[in-house]
């Protein structure tokens, strides 16, 4: 078996040591070197030709974002961001993902399990090693102005009662989700989303999407209402489930065991949507490594929901959509650029 060659870039000697030791336990991964800053990393990338890079964003001499942008332009290497669990770290991680990073993970710290680091980072490295550099299309959208009136809808929604969209994604998903959300009309039914990301990063991601989109986007809180024109994103380290009270949908945010090595889990969300919304739901599964969401999408399909999967050509990693297709839960496989149109059409939304 050809091992995945990894270069670890971090200004902390302790972090470099922890990551290297933990990854050395994986039979399919080899740490070929470490670097304390981007200048040393540049030379080692040329000398060692790593398959994957782990990169801190806050470093001396040159910050990780600037280095990542230069790297993507002149010598692309699949890169995983290892960032602090802070609001600032979350915002920097979002900028890194927009600049070409494949995924993010929390830097080891007092509240972080080294065992979790080993398992999660290894999975992200495996995904990064097979990730493809695809162009993610999205329509340019003017940033939302503070206190501005909502943008008028271009559509009429023929049916508005008891409709919900459930979407799941992992590796490469932040940019794919952005491509979808920035094209949604404010008249679209409420959406619940699971993107595999650590705590704090999901809050920064939701805030970023809210600035870019005409729909409202927020990190979900317990008992938040699912309503037209609103997108609720599962908070990192918590599962998100759909519940119903009378004629209205709400969400519950809860802890629990990892499902498919994930919390939040797409399967947990999709299973709840299957039971609560049934044929009144639409499910979407986007790019990602692994099989999270495959069983849940099959459950949605069996309950009468309409289900879509992103096609292989537009995926960074075709793992999750492929598994959902194999499980028999996908009605239609479509390019990422066509998913917004498919969602509008699924609810009979007609342009005016």
Give the tens place of pLDDT for each residue, 226-236. Answer: 999 999 999 99
Q: Does residue 216 carry a pLDDT above 60?
A: yes
Q: Does residue 159 carry a pLDDT above 60?
A: no
The per-residue pLDDT for 335 is: 98
CATH number belonging to domain 4-130: 3.40.50.2300
Q: Residue length, the chain?
A: 352
- Give 351 or 292, the one with higher predicted confidence: 292
- Two tokens at 165? 């969209």
Quickly state the pLDDT bin for 147 (edges 50, 70, 90).
very low
Quickly state the pLDDT bin for 89 (edges 50, 70, 90).
low
Q: Does residue 118 carry a pLDDT above 50?
A: yes
Which residues of 20-163 form beta strands (DSSP E)?
29-35, 52-55, 79-83, 103-106, 155-156
- Most confident range (mean pLDDT) of 18-22, 56-60, 94-98, 181-185 is 181-185
Q: Where in the chain is the domain with CATH 3.40.50.2300?
A: 4-130
Query: Per the omega criterion (within 30 degrees of 0), is the bond before 104 cis?
Result: no
Q: Does residue 155 carry a pLDDT above 90?
A: no
Q: What are phi and psi of 343, to 5 degrees?
A: -65, -45
* DSSP-derived pairing of the beta strands 306-310 and 332-334: parallel
- Read off the pLDDT of each residue in 85-105 and give the average, rounded to a whole number: 82
Distance CA 227, CA 250 (A): 9
Q: Does residue 186 carry a pLDDT above 60?
A: yes
Quickly state the pLDDT bin for 247 (edges 50, 70, 90).
confident
∠ CA(209), CA(89), CA(268), 5° rounding? Answer: 55
Distance CA 173, CA 202 (A): 12
Q: Does residue 332 carry a pLDDT above 70?
A: yes
CB 234 within 8 A of CB 269: yes
Q: What are phi and psi of 298, to 5 degrees?
A: -60, -40
∠ CA(263), CA(121), CA(15), 5° rounding? Answer: 120
Quickly state the pLDDT bin for 91 (edges 50, 70, 90).
confident
Q: Which residues are catalytic, by number?
A: 170, 196, 292
* Predicted TM-score of the model (pTM): 0.88
Average per-residue pLDDT for the chain: 89
- Read off the pLDDT of each residue in 50-60 and give the average, rounded to a whole number: 91
Q: Does residue 145 carry a pLDDT above 50?
A: no
Q: Where in the chain is the domain with CATH 3.40.50.180?
A: 155-351
- Read off the pLDDT of each residue in 263-279 and give the average, rounded to a whole number: 97
Which residues of the chain form beta strands (DSSP E)?
4-9, 29-35, 52-55, 79-83, 103-106, 155-156, 164-169, 191-195, 216-219, 225-226, 230-233, 239-245, 248-254, 281-285, 306-310, 332-334, 350-351
The per-residue pLDDT for 84 is: 77
Least confident of 80-94, 180-194, 318-332: 80-94
- Give 99 or 286, the one with higher predicted confidence: 286
CATH number belonging to domain 155-351: 3.40.50.180
- Read off the pLDDT of each residue in 274-290 and give the average, rounded to a whole number: 97
């Amino acid at each position: 078996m050809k091992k995945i060659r990894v270069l670890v870039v971090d200004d902390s000697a302790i972090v470099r040591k922890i990551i290297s030791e933990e990854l050395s336990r994986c039979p399919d991964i080899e740490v070929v070197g470490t670097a304390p800053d981007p200048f040393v990393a540049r030379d080692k990338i040329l000398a060692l030709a790593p398959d994957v890079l782990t990169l801190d964003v806050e470093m001396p001499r040159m910050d990780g974002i600037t280095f990542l942008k230069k790297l993507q332009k002149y010598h692309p290497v699949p890169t995983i961001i290892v960032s602090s669990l802070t609001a600032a770290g979350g915002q920097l991680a979002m900028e890194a993902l927009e600049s070409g990073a494949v995924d993010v993970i929390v830097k080891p710290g007092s509240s972080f399990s080294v065992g979790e680091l080993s398992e999660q980072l290894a999975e992200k490295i495996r995904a990064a090693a097979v990730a493809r550099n695809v162009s993610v299309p999205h329509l340019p959208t003017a940033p939302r102005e503070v206190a501005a009136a909502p943008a008028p809808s271009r559509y009429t929604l023929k049916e508005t009662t008891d409709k919900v969209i459930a979407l799941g994604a992992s590796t490469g998903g932040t940019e794919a989700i952005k491509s979808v959300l920035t094209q949604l009309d404010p008249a679209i039914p409420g959406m619940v989303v699971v993107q595999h990301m650590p705590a704090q990063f999901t809050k920064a991601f939701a805030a970023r999407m809210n600035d870019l989109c005409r729909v409202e986007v927020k990190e979900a809180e317990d008992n938040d209402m699912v309503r037209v024109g609103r997108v609720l994103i599962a908070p990192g380290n918590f599962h998100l489930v759909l519940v119903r009270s009378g004629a209205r949908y709400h969400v519950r945010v809860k802890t629990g065991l990892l499902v498919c090595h994930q919390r939040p889990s797409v399967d947990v969300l999709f299973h709840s949507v299957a039971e609560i919304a049934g044929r009144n739901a639409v499910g979407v599964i986007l790019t990602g490594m692994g099989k999270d969401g495959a069983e849940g999408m099959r459950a949605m399909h069996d309950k009468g929901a309409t289900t879509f999967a992103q096609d292989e050509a537009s995926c960074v990693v075709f793992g999750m959509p492929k598994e959902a297709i194999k499980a028999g839960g996908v009605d239609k496989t479509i390019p990422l650029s066509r998913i917004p149109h498919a969602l509008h059409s699924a609810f009979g939304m007609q342009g005016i």
